[in-house]
Amino acid sequence: MKVCLDTNAYSNLRRGNKKLLELLNGCDEILVPAAVYAELTYGFLRGGRPCENASLLDSFLEEGQVSFQPVTQSIAERWGYVKAALAKRGAPIPENDIWIAATALETGARLVSYDRHFDSVGGLIRLAP
């Protein structure tokens, strides 16, 4: 199974969420979208241990099944479709979350997130272990 992590999923993993760890251990591919990397970096810089947290994230990205997912042209195009569909339904979600949803949809990954507003994104499968 291929999954795409939301920022809160990575944070829950670092807090020791055992169900999440079990899920991720069974995954073939774990994507960290550019928007998640950016949000985590921002959080690290505002916290008390920015270097330690950045190092932990870098180590996580070096694990065999984990990879950084940059924004590609197809992800950017998908972002437009997702944002337009949400606007048409009057169901906006935060901008970075649209990027995260677009990344999951375009790569065929399931999104691991605890934010229920992702449920308003058509075609997106959200897991919340």
Q: What is the mean pLDDT of each run of 10 residues along the chain (129 residues)?
A: 98 97 97 98 96 97 97 98 97 96 98 98 97
Radius of gyration of the chain (CA): 14
Q: Which residue has the tokens 């169900």?
A: 19
What is the predicted pLDDT for the residue at 55?
97
| Alpha helix segments (H runs only) across the chain | 7-14, 18-25, 34-46, 50-61, 73-89, 95-107
pLDDT at position 102, please? 98
Cα–Cα dist 50/54, whole Å: 6
CA–CA separation, 36 and 33 (whole Å): 5
The per-residue pLDDT for 62 is 97
Q: Which fold has domain 2-127?
A: Rossmann fold (3.40.50)
pTM: predicted TM-score of the whole model, two decimal places: 0.96
Q: What is the pLDDT of residue 29?
A: 98
> Which residues, other chains included, contact 105 with Cβ-Cβ below 8 Å and sequence gap of 6+?
78, 82, 121, 123, 124
What letter would DSSP give residue 123? T
Domain definitions of the chain by residue range: 2-127
Identify the pLDDT of residue 48: 94
List the structure tokens of 128: 């919340």
